[in-house]
Amino acid sequence: MADAVMLLVKTHAFGDALMCTPAVRELVRDGRTIWALTGPSASPVWERVQGISRVFVAPVPPSGAADGMRLLKWTLGMRGELRGTDSALVFQGSPFIRRWVRFLTSSRVVSCGGNSLGSWETVYPLEPGELAGQAFARVAGVEVSDWRPEFPVKEAEMRWAEKLGLPFPLFAIAPGGGRNPRDTVMEKRWMPERYAELAGRLSSAGIGTVLLGGGDDRAAAAEMARFSSCGLLDMTGRTTWGQTAAILDRCCGFLGADSGTAHLAAARGIPSVVLFGPSSPSALYPEGLIIPVTACVDCSPCYSNSLFPGCRNDRALCMESIELEDVWPALVRVLDNPPERAE
């Protein structure tokens, strides 16, 4: 390669990749050649980051023998192209991913790992309770002044949303969440009947509700609709991430549990109320970017930006402890503050 290439690695998931963008925004200002290595769930983020010249989408993370063989084939086929990369910044701590990147590139690796895996790696661990983006900034060697994630919306997506003829004013609710390629944490979800009650209150105030999320969230949306006495526009599983962002741009606020959709709403500058049971807002969202509503049980939060250890109770008491009257005042605050739109 004629120019030194820096490879940025965040393989999954969508929300985690968004948290990398403030540090990456500072990196690209240096004008160096930057590539990104990612998986399908996070690729919509990396493909929109200005200043990244190439995005490699690998079949990661593997789940089972067949996926493992596909990843091996991809790795052997791409190793020649990625070998010799000047440096690799791995914005995650998985030992498997870090060793895989080293094998692919033969370059020096800087990561968020707990302990160095060899003389070829420098690690900057995520400290307990620390905003993940701060660890990502240490890995990148940059200072970040604006912690809002970045996710530009394309003109075609804006035009698509305009043609939907969405009602105004409109509030977005994401009733699902809790799934990504690395981990499934259904304990993050709030009760559908409580979402339905709040949608009813919004309707009484003359505000419509649109339901957002991926294909895995359609059952949660249907369950919420079953409890609802007002009309809901259900767009779960029907939009790309870019189209979801375009719809969010037409909303006066957002409500949902900690999820990729919540990270996207925050990135687009939508006033957002985010509910937290197992996870911690301080590790995932910059202070002031969202209005967090946290659980009222001693065991919460039980994990942060790592694999879920499993709930020690029979059910998610943390999310059950969040009552309607904990959330409604936060929604009123959102309605009293118009959105600060992202560029």
Same-domain status, 127 and 85:
yes
Q: What is the average pLDDT value for the chain, to the nearest integer?
A: 93
Same-domain status, 163 and 298:
yes
| 143-163 mean pLDDT | 97
Same-domain status, 136 and 167:
no
- Of 91, 109, 140, the one marking the end of a domain is 140
| pLDDT interval class at 311 (50, 70, 90) | confident
Residue 304: per-residue pLDDT: 61
Residue 307: per-residue pLDDT: 67
Same-domain status, 26 and 95:
yes
Residue 103 lies in a domain: yes
| pLDDT interval class at 84 (50, 70, 90) | confident
> Which carries the bigger pLDDT value, residue 187 or residue 340?
187
Residue 153 lies in a domain: no
Residue 151 lies in a domain: no
Query: Does 94 score more than 70 pLDDT?
Result: yes
- Domain residues for 331? 159-335
Same-domain status, 88 and 164:
no
- Of 82, 112, 140, the one marking the end of a domain is 140
| 283-293 mean pLDDT | 94
> Which carries the bigger pLDDT value, residue 1 or residue 244?
244
Same-domain status, 190 and 301:
yes
Residue percentage of the chain with pLDDT more than 90: 82
| pLDDT interval class at 338 (50, 70, 90) | low
Q: How many domains does the chain have?
A: 2
| 237-255 mean pLDDT | 98
Same-domain status, 194 and 74:
no
Residue 302: per-residue pLDDT: 84
Query: Does 88 score more than 50 pLDDT?
Result: yes
d(CA 334, CA 260): 20
- Of 94, 112, 140, the one marking the end of a domain is 140
Q: Hey, what are 287's tokens?
A: 């202070």
Query: Does 308 score more than 80 pLDDT?
Result: no
pTM above 0.85, yes or no: yes
Same-domain status, 213 and 296:
yes
Residue 1: per-residue pLDDT: 42
Which CATH number covers residue 200? 3.40.50.2000
Residue 340: per-residue pLDDT: 58
Residue 146 lies in a domain: no
Same-domain status, 19 and 89:
yes
| 99-121 mean pLDDT | 96
Residue 190: per-residue pLDDT: 97
d(CA 218, CA 213): 8
Residue 343 lies in a domain: no
DSSP 233-297: EE-TTS--HHHHHHHHTT-SEEEEESSHHHHHHHHTT--EEEEESSS-HHHHS-TTSSEEEE--S
| pLDDT interval class at 216 (50, 70, 90) | very high
d(CA 221, CA 241): 17
Q: Which of 217, 6, 235 is CA-nearest to residue 109?
A: 6
d(CA 284, CA 304): 8
Same-domain status, 26 and 87:
yes
Residue 49: φ, ψ to 5°: -75, 115
Same-domain status, 98 and 178:
no
| pLDDT interval class at 324 (50, 70, 90) | very high
Same-domain status, 234 and 207:
yes
Residue 59: per-residue pLDDT: 96
Least confident of 32-46, 252-266, 295-309: 295-309
Q: Please, are residues 303 and 225 in contact by the beta-carbon 8 Å criterion?
A: no
Residue 115 gets which letter from DSSP?
A: S
Identify residue 157 by its one-letter amino acid code.
E
